[in-house]
Structure 1
Amino acid sequence: MPDLDPALQAALAEFAAHQRVLVALDFDGTMSPLVDRPQEARPLEESAAAFEQLASSPGVYTAVVSGRNLQSLSEVYPEPRPEIRIGSHGAERLVPPQLGAIWHDEPLTARQSELLGQITQRLERVAAMHANASVEYKPSATVLHVRQATPEVAAKALAQARQALRDLDGIKLLEGKAVLEATVHHGDKGQSLQWLREVLDVQAVLFVGDDVTDENGFKVLGAADLGIKVGPGPTAAAHNILSPSELPHLLKSLISMRH
């Protein structure tokens, strides 16, 4: 495994010097390589092992912050899982009671339930019209997946989905790699990270992610924090690694710096 970029190595050392820190990782495309079938995703064993070891370091909190719903995340992330898990871009939050964090999943209002039903019907119609498009259901959102479709079909399906949803007020569209999520919950990964920062009372946050929706997380990071994008492309993160295969080395480097 090649050494980390010198600038990233230096930034990681500065981050590691803080007494109380949060290390938050996205799942798909970060802990797990992207796969055609979302249900077949698994974290790289080295990444999961290093993440678990990092969690045992004094003063270090670890969290998975994912767009997946918590049920889906539990199905693709084998035990032992991180105790702190954020799902559905922040609409679902699982934090151990001993940490003193209080989060109540608020039930959808009648209007939100109606909107979610309309979203689901429209995205189901779009998916039915395009080969290898599929729909995923979340507690407060519905997602159109087109990763298995041809690029031409995928582009048409996504464009048609946007058009189908254009007149619905009170929804939020989250676009990622070969997915379009329509949600009635207006939180995002950035808000989730800020919430974790407060409830855990950490001095610095490290966040690693690969997709468009992770940019909301990078944008809330401050001078003491560290944002790392996985893969190429424009980003608000200060640093990047090339692929999920480089994450184990990053985590192991942080572990060594904490000891």
Structure 2
Amino acid sequence: MTTRMDVALSEINADLHTALATFAAHEQILVALDFDGTMSPLVDRPEDARPLPASALAFETLSQQPGVHTALVSGRNLASLAAVYPEPMPQICIGSHGAERRLPESLRAHWDDQPLTMVQSERLKSLSQALEMVAKTHENVTLEYKPSATVLHVRRATREVGISAIAEAKHALNSIHGVKLLEGKSVLEASVHQGDKGESLTWLRELLQVDAVLFVGDDVTDENGFKVLTPADLGVKVGSGTTLARHRIGSPQDLPDLLQFLISVRN
């Protein structure tokens, strides 16, 4: 795939509709969605996020169609997702960029949550302490703790403070071996887990034996997902910014129309 710069939504609607129709013609498909900035508009406080009702309803409708698998693929941890997503949640949920995986009973034998090793636990403690020092000295910079990572949030800070905090955090973490950094929109995640959304999508493709994958995401970390898509797959970027995805929608408010169109052509 080639990198594309910003394209106005009106210029790609016809192409996207054609691509969705081609994708829908496959017998077995996976529709995988990011959460923050994709199903839910971005908010200052992660706990205030909610999927747009029309998106959640369309996603649930898709999951009930023969030959269609649906999955949330998020950087959030699974507990955080469960707290903000209304019932019914999708049966397949990938959390913490792949470190956590919630599967239906029929697939649970394919995944075991592995506890952190002693080395990973010590590494997580060290990186958390480093980020705590950064957050303590920067106004409106907060931390989020995950089972295998700690996240520095700068969305509520001024632009200058945010840039400074992330730069200091990267410098502080340089000395800790084995830390994976994932930088997104106003966040820096430091993890002891080495996976990402691309690895998670590849794993789901093989597990579910699907013919094609649709992945929709908005953030820099979603590029890891777009880069593993094949020519039969479909990547859709939400919002502006350079991306490997071949198509784009303007905002989370456009996602219900995309999903409804997919439902209609699938039928």
TMscore range, shorter length: over 0.9
Equivalence for 1:206: 214
Equivalence for 1:188: 196
1:176 aligns with 2:195: no
| Runs (5+) with no aligned partner, structure 2 | 1-8
Secondary structure of the residue that 1:169 maps to in structure 2? Answer: coil
Q: CA deviation at 1:99?
A: 3.5
1:80 aligns with 2:91: no
Secondary structure of the residue that 1:5 maps to in structure 2? Answer: helix
Over residues 166-185 of structure 1, what are the superposed CA-to-partner deviations in whole Å (9 max), with x where a residue is unaligned? 11111100000000000000
| Matched-pair contact (CA < 8 Å) for 1:4–1:250 | no
Residues 1-259 of structure 1 correspond to what in structure 2 (within 5 A)?
A: 5-99=13-107, 102-259=110-267
Q: Which amino acid aligns with 2:31?
A: V
Percent sequence identity over aligned pairs? 65
CA distance 1:134–1:13, shift in 2 (3 Å) = same
**Distance in 2, Cα, partners of 1:2 & 1:126:** 43
After TM superposition, which residue ranges in structure 1, 4 or more long, deviate above 2 angstroms? 1-4
| Runs (5+) with no aligned partner, structure 1 | none
CA distance 1:77–1:2, shift in 2 (3 Å) = farther
Aligned residues: 259
**Distance in 2, Cα, partners of 1:235 & 1:103:** 31
Normalising by structure 1, what TM-score?
0.98
Q: CA deviation at 1:107?
A: 1.4
Q: Which amino acid aligns with 2:22?
A: E
Q: CA deviation at 1:129?
A: 0.7
| Matched-pair contact (CA < 8 Å) for 2:12–2:247 | no
RMSD: 1.4
